[in-house]
Amino acid sequence: MTGSSDNGVYDDLRFQASLTLKRLQPRLDAFWSESGAAEKRREDFQHRLDGHWTELFGLLFRLYGARYDFFYHLECLLLTAARAWAERPDELCELDRRRINEPDWFESERVVGGAL
């Protein structure tokens, strides 16, 4: 156990998530250096990653953590997300920023969608 709580598993998962991100950060930094993306774009991605990483890591670890190639695929997923963020049009990034304060945006009567 790495922290104190009634559920040591959660503390250990937070520790593992943090350790994993520290190990992957150099690959992510190399991507950003090569991408030529604006510093603001990089900062926005990192801020959102930091805010959601522990939860994302926990969900993926529960599903795939026992697989021998889990961390390889986690790295690929992280780099794919960074690439998509770097290539995302400015208008959509602005829309993303506005939607942070409007988490139920998809329930709006102005939005039409479907799923199969």
Domain count of the fold of the chain: 1
Q: Which domain holds residue 27?
A: 9-100
Per-residue pLDDT tens for 16-75? 999 999 999 999 999 999 999 999 999 999 999 999 999 999 999 999 999 999 999 999
- Within a domain: 35: yes
Residue 115 lies in a domain: no
CB of 97 within 8 A of CB of 40? no
pLDDT in tens, 59-113: 999 999 999 999 999 999 999 999 999 999 999 999 888 888 888 887 887 877 7
Which pLDDT score is estimated for 113? 74
| Nearest C-alpha neighbor of 39 from the set 24, 27, 29 | 29
Q: Which two tokens stand for residue 112?
A: 């039409």
Measured distance CA(38)–CA(26) in Å, rounded:
18
Q: Select from 23, 36, 34, 42 the least CA-distant residue to 81.
A: 42
In a domain, 108, yes or no: no
DSSP 18-29: HHHHHHHHHHHH
Asked, for residue 92, whether it belongs to a domain, the answer is yes
Burial class of 58 by CB neighbour count within 10 A (0 to 12, 13 to 18, 19+): middle
